Structure 1
Amino acid sequence: MKLTKTLFVTSLIAGGINMAAQAQKPEDTEFYTPVPKVVATKEVTVAPPSDATILFDGKDLSQWVSSGDRSKPALWTVKNGVFTVDKKTGNIETKQSFNNYQLHIEWQVPANITGKGQGRGNSGLFLASIGKGDAGYELQILDSYQNDTYTNGQSASIYKQTAPLANPTRKPGEWQSYDVIWTAPTFNDDKMLKTPARVTVLFNGVLVQNNFELKGPTQYIGQAAYRDAHGPSPIKLQSHGDPSEPLSFRNIWIREL
């Protein structure tokens, strides 16, 4: 009788956990308040220092590969010193893997951008790519100029984890910049988390993430958690596949720390 009862209780618990997992929805981790203060800024472009590794020099994507198949080159379009998302070919990521670093990247949504919310100029800078698709730690890229969405999904948020401290997004058609200080997570020999990832971000020269401690890789559905140990990782750019006009990038460089 005790064994039967124990099995019955265990079954109920397992069933409850499974139902809870199935019941999770994207909106469960979306937050709309408080709304970050809008801050006006000018264009910020920073030339690479002498010890930087150039990830894009305006000529080609030789430092990048396809995320879906790292044996294949990155096929996004390079023209006039910038490269543009190609939603047909998927995400791209760096050939090289990195641990702790300082990164500068500039991006632009076109002046004639359409759509709204998450469907308006959506991409993502994955500070460490730890798998195919959208797996990793995402710093959101989005047109957040007079474009309402959940605050932990607007531009410069750590996606679904924290909103930016301010909203210094410039108008569509103008160049935006991120300056990122990334401290990668570390793991013990038993693959359990030793120290979490941390990130500091300046968006168009404005501090928007101040040594934020990540809860784990970013997730579209459910709570973030560190589930898989990993070492140095590539940096990934997302092809979100939105019907709105695609984003462009320029002047990308990195300094390992």
Structure 2
Amino acid sequence: MTEAQQKAKPEDTEVWEPVPRVVRPGETHVAPPEDALVLFDGKSLDQWVMTDDRSKPAEWIVSDSVLTVNKETGNIETRRAFSDYQLHLEWRIPENITGEGQARGNSGVFLASTGKGNAGYELQVLDSYHNKTYVNGMAGSIYKQFIPLANPSKKPGEWQSYDVFWKAPVFEADGALKTPAKVTVLFNGVLVQNNVELQGATQYIGKPSYSAHGPAPLKLQAHGDKSEPISFRNVWIREL
């Protein structure tokens, strides 16, 4: 590790302007098409395992057809690995959420999980309804890389949706990057990421970078903030 890397701070890669304009979204609830793989049907976590020990089944909470983060157990990820895909999932910030900034309903969808912990490419999940934070860390951002084109966040307690179109990175035989990952994201039906080329995997401190990998699971984050845990439902994927 270089001296510059040792001195790096999380704040070095925070961007606060320009602030995306607020857009009032419409209603979105998309049922899975016939060729989709349903990752969460409101009943079973059979498609999920614990990230830090893939031999263990997922240990989050399923109740009333809703999947809720269990912060005591850690991140979960899919049993199966994927390359290019279309993903739909719905998420909800608790109505009684407290805190501010990044400590307000923080989670994430890792579009490709490349290792334990928070390794991979993160689409941020956060309460961004009247909640100021750095804009490359708000809901709809590719964390610490791309600011969302708009802010269509709903109030805490209301269901929100992501529709993701993911093009996985491709690597040469020697591990060099051949083509970068690309992603398009609709947030509550509003385009917030338009076929952006990722600069690499997510880094909390420092610049994003690539490391060669193949097909990878999806991962949902159990963030360590002290706010109430968020919930998910209607999660499905179509391989492309």
The 5 Å alignment of 1:16-165 reads 18-165=2-149
Give the percent of matched residue pairs that are identical in Structure 1 and Structure 2.
Answer: 68
Tell me what 2:155 maps to. Answer: 171
Q: Distance in 2 between matches of 1:25 and 1:170?
A: 31
Q: C-alpha root-mean-square deviation of aligned residues, in Å?
A: 0.7
Query: 1:18 deviation in Å?
Result: 2.2
Q: 1:235 aligned to 2:229?
A: no
The runs of at least 4 consecutive aligned structure 1 residues that moved more than 2 Å come to none
The letter for the 2-side match of 1:28 is D
Tell me what 1:3 maps to. Answer: none
- What SS does the aligned partner of 2:111 have? strand
Task: Give the gaps of 5 or more residues in structure 2.
Answer: none
Instruction: Indicate if the aligned counterparts of 1:43 and 1:175 stay in contact, CA closer than 8 A.
Output: no
Task: Give the gaps of 5 or more residues in structure 1.
Answer: 1-16
Tell me what 1:247 maps to. Answer: 230
- What SS does the aligned partner of 1:166 have? coil
Q: Distance in 1 between matches of 2:52 and 2:7?
A: 29
Q: How many residues align?
A: 240
Structure number with the higher helix fraction is 1
Q: Distance in 2 between matches of 1:19 and 1:241?
A: 28
Q: TM-score, normalised by structure 2?
A: 0.99
Q: Distance in 2 between matches of 1:19 and 1:92?
A: 34
